[in-house]
Amino acid sequence: MSSYETLTLEHAGAVTHVWLNRPERRNALNALALEEIAAAFDELQRRFETPVVILGGRGPSFCAGADRKDPPAARMARGSGAGARERRFAAQLGRRAVEAIERLEAITIARVQGHAVGGGLVLALACDLRLAASTALFQIPEVDLGIPLAWGAAPRLAAAVGEARAKELILLCDRIDAVTGERYGLVNRVVPEAELDTLVNEWATRLAAKPPWAVHMTKSQFRARARTATLGDTTETDGDLLAAAVSEDPSRFAFPRKS
C-alpha cells in the first residue's frame, strides 16, 4: 500500500489500524491530512482480506480538529487567486475524507481518547462504532467560530444522538465528557484509558470472526437507512458555505486550543 506523511497504517491479520500520526499537533487536520485520509480509505476498499479497520490517533488525543498553524481554510484562501473551482475543491476535502470512511466495506471502529473536536469528531461519526477512553472530550465549536458545520456532519450527528441533542451540541458548542457522550449515544462504550486498546482489539477480533456476508449485508442495511434519512441534505453544498464563510478570514477555521 501507499505510504503517507500524516498517517500510519498497521496490518495485523484481519484487522488494519489507521493512525492519525501528527501527535505533536494533537493530530489536527490540515489539507494534506484530509487528502491522505480519503486516499487511505479508498485504498483499503481493495484490501479484501481486511474485514475490520480501526481509526485512532497517536499521542494524547484522537483529533483536535483543524490545524491552527495550517488550517484547511488556508488552502481555500490561497485558491482565491485561481478562482472558485480551487476554493470549492479545498472546501470539499473534509467531505471526501468522511465519505471515504463511510464507503469502506469493512467495519470501522473509532478508537477515541483525549480530544475529539470539530472535524475530529466528524471523522469518528463516520465510523460504524465508537469506543472511547474515559478521558475523551467531545466538542463542535464551529458556530462559536462563525462558520457552518460542514462535511455533512449535522445529519450524521442527528442520526447518532437524535435531532434535539444534535442541535444542542452544534448550536451551544458545549464540551462534553465521555460519560455524557455515551449517555447521548455518541459513543458505544467508555472504559478507562488503560483498558481502551483491550476493548478495541476484543471488538475487532469478534467482528473479524463473524460470517462476512452477514456482516456486509447488515452494514448495507444501515447504509440504506442513512441515505434515506439524509436525502436532500446539504452534504454537496455545505463545503461551498464553508468556503464562503472563511474566504475573508481563514483564521476563523482554526479551532482554539483548550486544555
Q: Render pLDDT for 120-150 as a digit per residue (tens, 0 to 9).
A: 999 999 999 999 999 999 999 999 999 889 8
Instruction: Give the three cell numbers for residue 54.
Output: 480501526
pLDDT value for 134 = 98
188: three-class secondary structure by DSSP: coil
Q: Global pTM?
A: 0.86
Specify the CATH superfamily of domain 7-193+212-249.
2-enoyl-CoA Hydratase; Chain A, domain 1 (3.90.226.10)
**Rounded-to-integer distance, Cα 163 and Cα 158, Å:** 5
Give the mean pLDDT of 1-11.
92
**Other beta carbons within 10 Å of 157:** 23
Strands, sheet with 15-20, edge to edge from the N-terminal-most edge strand: 7-12, 15-20, 52-57, 107-112, 129-133, 189-191
C-alpha cell at 162: 437524535
pLDDT digit string (tens) for 59-110? 999 999 999 888 776 655 554 555 667 777 888 899 999 999 999 999 999 9
Q: What is the pLDDT of residues 191-232, one digit of tens each?
A: 999 999 999 999 999 999 999 999 999 999 988 766 665 545
First CA to last CA across the chain, in angstroms?
Answer: 36
pLDDT number for residue 101: 97
Higher per-residue confidence, 241 vs 152? 152
**Domains in the chain: boundaries:** 7-193+212-249
Q: Which residues contact 186 (CB under 8 A, 6 or more apart)?
A: 130, 138, 160, 161, 176
In this predicted structure, what is the pLDDT of residue 209?
97
| pLDDT for the residue 241 | 58
Q: What is the mean pLDDT of the chain?
A: 88
Q: Which spans in 127-186 are helix H?
A: 153-161, 163-172, 178-184
pLDDT at 255: 41
